[in-house]
Structure 1
Amino acid sequence: MNIGILLPLILIVGVMFMMSRSAKNRQRQASEMRSKMEPGTGVRTIGGLYAVVKEVNDETVLLELTDGVHAHFAKNAIATVLGEDEFNRIVHGIEPDEPEGLDHDAQAPAADAGDADAKEAGDAGTAEDAPAEDAPIDLSKSDAATPQDSGAPRDGK
């Protein structure tokens, strides 16, 4: 047999073996993750729905979507089992407590010092020139510029 024919066949078989092996690893990891489900844990379904596990059966899981609203899902429909901190951050907007020792204000003086240098040099504008960082942005259409009807056709003819 010619080496030119044999080498591509060996390469194809090797790639197929590696792909099936990685797929088995992903299935194993998914089944381990789903086995960690217990009542009270937060989950995300493959459809992107966030819920709390109420009951785990052999092939189904009972999820509480909101207070008093329950639904049965297949275990395979659970995409991710979330930790308590991550679930609260995503669903309720509760940020986890920061560990002590982290100081977010440590970088603020350096930025203020740069602003002070710019003001001394006369390069800084007034507060009216710069947009306020914390000011809400108004997206109403009343402030938008309305196009003037010039009477000319729009298609350029």
Structure 2
Amino acid sequence: MNSDFAASIGSFFGQWGIMIIMVIALIAMFVFSSRSNKKRQKQYQSMLDSLKPGSRVRTIGGIYGTVTSVKGDVVFVSVGPDKARLVFSKQAIASIEDAPVEATIDGEIVETNKK
């Protein structure tokens, strides 16, 4: 009787074992994928919420400019040397670019490692 039970379990996993493993793997991939998408969406939304006048931005179309004002879901961006003003939806902003850092040194520079 015990050997019949073991044989039936072995037969079951022989037929369905790979299918069960594949289903579990697909469910795990779905869960991890949805969690990372939610995390990415939160980061994007916090980036959009931090938009303010003076922010350097890049749009989804590749246009670089400076935010002049934000009114609800609309962002006004100035671009180019003539400061042309363009209007975008907040969703059209791909990223906030880091402003270039200018180093200023106050005082005298002294070398300490002289040989």
- TM-score, normalised by the number of residues in structure 2: 0.69
How far apart are the structure 1 equivalents of 2:104 and 2:89? 36
Given the alignment of the two structures, is residue 69 of structure 1 paired with residue 75 of structure 2, yes or no?
no
Gaps of 5+ in 1: 87-95, 104-157
Q: Cα distance 1:7–1:32, how it changes in 2: closer, same or farther (>3 A)?
A: same
Given the alignment of the two structures, is residue 8 of structure 1 paired with residue 14 of structure 2, yes or no?
no
| Paired residue total | 94
Displacement, 1:99?
7.2
1:42 alignment partner in structure 2: 56
Displacement, 1:7?
1.0
Q: CA RMSD in A?
A: 2.4
2:72 alignment partner in structure 1: 58
1:153 alignment partner in structure 2: none
One-letter amino acid of the structure 2 residue matched with residue 80 of structure 1: S
Q: Which has the higher contact order (CA 8 A, sep 6+)?
A: 2
Displacement, 1:22?
0.9
1:118 alignment partner in structure 2: none
Gaps of 5+ in 2: 1-11
How far apart are the structure 2 equivalents of 1:81 and 1:97? 21
One-letter amino acid of the structure 1 residue matched with residue 75 of structure 2: V
Could you list the structure 1 runs, at least 4 aligned residues long, displaced by more than 3 angstroms after superposition.
98-101
Displacement, 1:69?
1.3
- Identity level (%): 29
Which one has a larger percent strand, Structure 1 or Structure 2? Answer: 2
2:7 alignment partner in structure 1: none
How far apart are the structure 1 equivalents of 2:64 and 2:79? 7
One-letter amino acid of the structure 1 residue matched with residue 92 of structure 2: A
Displacement, 1:33?
0.9
How far apart are the structure 2 equivalents of 1:17 and 1:98? 49
Displacement, 1:97?
2.2
SS at match of 2:103: coil
Given the alignment of the two structures, is residue 23 of structure 1 paired with residue 37 of structure 2, yes or no?
yes
